[in-house]
Copies of this chain bind each other. A is one copy, B any other.
Amino acid sequence: MKRFALSAAPIDAAAEKAALEHPAAGGCVTFEGWVRNHNEARAVTRLDYQAYGALAESEGAAILDEACRQFALRAARCVHRTGALAIGDMAVWVGASADHRDAAFAACRWIIDEVKRRVPIWKNEHYADGESGWLHPSGDPVGPA
C-alpha cells in the first residue's frame, strides 16, 4: 500500500489509521487538516484543491520515506484530498505509529509541515463576499530536489 496518496473522494481516516497498526507500536499520532470557515480574518465558504498529480505523488512518497528514515517509526501514511471541499471536510490526514510517543509526535508534525511546504497542491479559497483566490504563501522559496 502506498504511504502517500492523493484522493478525489473523502478520506477514510479509520482505514488509514488501521494501516499503522503494529504489535510493537506503543501508539500513534494523527493530524487531520479540516476546512475551516475563516482565514486571515476572511469568512471562507468552500475550497478547491488542485494537484500536479504525478509530482505530488512522488514528492509525497519521498517525504514519507524520509520520515521513516529520520524517526524511529513502525509506520507512517498521508492522504491529501483534491477537488471541491466544504467547511468541515477533511483536507489532509497524516498518521505515524512508533514504539514511543516522542517519535510519533515529531514525525507527524514533520510530515505535515513538509507536505505543506513541498507537495505541489494549491488551494483556491472561496469567500463569503463572492471573491475567490489561489493561495500562494510567501515564505522561503523551496529549492529543487
In the bound complex, CA of A31 to CA of B29 (Å): 5
Stretch from A62-70, A105-113, A129-137 forming part of the interface with B:
A105-113
* Copies, count: 2
Binding site for B on A (CB under 8 A): 13-14, 17, 21, 23-34, 36-38, 87-88, 97, 99, 101, 104-105, 108-109, 112
CB within 8 Å for A101 and B105 given contacts A32-B27, A36-B25: no
Instruction: Return chain B residues, CB-CB under 8 Å to A13.
Output: 14, 17
> Which residues from chain B contact A30 at a C-beta distance below 8 Å?
29-30, 32
* CB pair B101 A23 closer than 8 Å: no
State in angstroms the CA–CA spacing of A115 and B107 once bound together.
Answer: 22
- Distance (whole angstroms) from the CB of A98 to the closest CB of chain B: 10
